[in-house]
Amino acid sequence: MEVPVYLISGFLESGKTMFIRTTFEDPEFINTSRTLLIICEEGIEEYDIEEYKKKNIDVVFMTDTGGLDPHLLHEYNDRFRPDKVVIELNGMWKMEDVLEVDTPPGWITVQMITMINGETFNSYITNMRSLIMEELKYSDTIIINRCEGLDRKTVRRTIKPVNRKAAILYETNDGMETGGGEEDDLPYDINQQHIDIDDDDFGLFYLDVMDNTKKYDGKEVSFKAQFYRNNMMPKDTFGPGRFAMQCCANDIGFIGIVSRITSTYKDFFQTHRDRDWIYVTGIVKNQFCREYRGKGPVIYVNGLKDSSPAEDEVVYFT
C-alpha cells in the first residue's frame, strides 16, 4: 500500500505549525484515515495532541536526531500503520539528506511545502542564502506569510531561477491569495507588440517568457545577448543568452532561448563564436522544440547584429 508523505519545511517561526494545524482542521484531508505527524523541531506554537487522538492523528517527536532517523521511521510505521504521513521538518537540516533517507516501504513523498516568514525573507536571503535556497529548490509549493510590504518581484526573482515549477502563494491577514501581480512587476509593457529588453532585465524576461510563453506568442522582442551554438543544433538554430548567477557565485550558468534564422543570416554562424556579443530581434512563437523537450519560446530572428558587451556581463535575479 502506498503511503503519501507531505514534507513541511521552513525555518523557525515560519508558520509551519500553524499551517499544519489549519490543514488538520480540514475534514477532507483527515477524513477517516490514520495520519502520522512527525515533529522534527520544537517551535513556539503547539499541537493539541489529545484532541488529535480523537481524529486518528498520531504525534511523535524526532527533535534530537540531527536528521530523519530511518530506524525511527520504520519503527513508527510498524507501530502506527499510517495511511498518510506529515513531517514538520527542522529548517536547519540539509534537504538533500532528508530526501535521500531510507523510508519504510510504500512511503512516497507527494508534496513538499516550504513556509517563509515574509518579515524575515530578505534577512535570510542575505545571511543564509545557500541554506534557504536548498529548501526552495526542492519545493512544490512555497507559501509566504506575513507578506505585507514584501517586494514580490524580488521574491520571484529569487525563487524562479532555482525552481521554475514551484507555485508561490502569499498569505496576509486577510487570508490566502495566489501570487498574482507579476505582470505589474515586469519592467516593460507586456501589452506592447514590440518589447525592448534592457540589459539589466534580461533575467526577468527569461524567467517570464519560459514560464508564460503564451502571453509572448506573436510579439517581437529585442535584447542584447551572447552568441551560443553547438554542433547538435539544426543548421538554422542557435541559443542567444547570458551567463546568470542562479544561487551563489559558484552556481553561474548560461541561460539561452532557442532561436531560428533565415538564409539572410546564414553567414553569421560562420563569422561568430560563442560568447560574442550580439543584438537580437525576432518574433516569439510558442511551439514544440526538441531542445526544451516540449513546448517553449522559439524566436524567429528578423534582426541580428554585433553589439558591445553589457555593462554587467552576469545576470542577477535579485
Average pLDDT in the chain: 88
220-to-67, 202, 276, 302 alpha-carbon distances in Å: 51, 15, 22, 9
Q: How many CA atoms lie within 13 A of 28 on its CB side?
A: 0
Q: Which of 43-52, 105-114, 204-213, 308-317 has the highest mean pLDDT?
A: 105-114
- Lowest-pLDDT range, 152-166, 185-199, 231-245? 152-166
Count of beta carbons in the 10 Å neighbourhood of residue 132: 22
Higher pLDDT, 174 or 158: 158
Q: What's the pLDDT at 84?
A: 96
The one-letter amino acid code at 113 reads: I
Average pLDDT over residues 261-266: 88
Q: What is the mean pLDDT of residues 177-200?
A: 77
- List the alpha helices (DSSP H) in 139-279: 152-159, 182-185, 202-211, 268-271
Residues 6+ apart with CB under 8 A from 126: none
Rounded Cα distance between 284 and 299, Å, is 5
The whole-angstrom separation of Cα 170 and Cα 180 is 9
DSSP class of residue 45 equals S
Instruction: Name the residue type at position 152.
Output: R
Query: Is residue 316 over pLDDT 80?
Result: no
Residue 218: is it exposed, middle or buried by C-beta count within 10 angstroms (0-12/13-18/19+)?
exposed
Q: What is the pLDDT, as a whole number, of residue 172?
A: 78
Cα(80)–Cα(300) distance, rounded to whole angstroms? 59
Whether residue 167 has pLDDT greater than 90 = no
| Contact indicator for 38, 90 with CB cutoff of 8 Å | no
Burial of 11 (0-12, 13-18, 19+ CB in 10 A): buried
* pLDDT score at 35: 96
Out of 59-73, 139-153, 289-303, least confident range: 139-153
- The stretches of the chain forming alpha helices (DSSP H) are 16-23, 27-30, 49-53, 70-80, 95-99, 121-127, 129-138, 152-159, 182-185, 202-211, 268-271
pLDDT at 127: 86
Distance of alpha carbon 3 from alpha carbon 20, whole angstroms: 18
The CA distance from 175 to 245, in Å, is 34
Mean local confidence (pLDDT), 270-292: 94
Q: In this model, does residue 297 exceed pLDDT 80?
A: yes
Q: Can you give the pTM of this predicted structure? A: 0.67
Task: In the chain, count H helices and then E strands.
Answer: 11, 17
Q: Confidence class of residue 168 from pLDDT cuts 50, 70 and 90?
A: confident
The predicted structure's pLDDT at residue 260: 96
Confidence at 263, pLDDT banded by 50, 70, 90: confident
| Choice between 43 and 135, residue whose per-residue pLDDT is larger | 135
Give the C-alpha separation, 16 to 89, whole Å: 9
What are φ and ψ of residue 247, in 5° steps? -135, -55
What per-residue confidence (pLDDT) applies to 174? 65
Question: Is 257 a residue whose pLDDT tops 90?
Answer: yes
Q: In order of start, what are the domains of the chain with their CATH numbers?
A: 3-183 (3.40.50.300), 187-316 (2.40.50.140)
What is the Cα–Cα distance from 137 to 129, expressed in whole angstroms? 12
Q: Are 169 and 141 in contact (CB under 8 A)?
A: yes
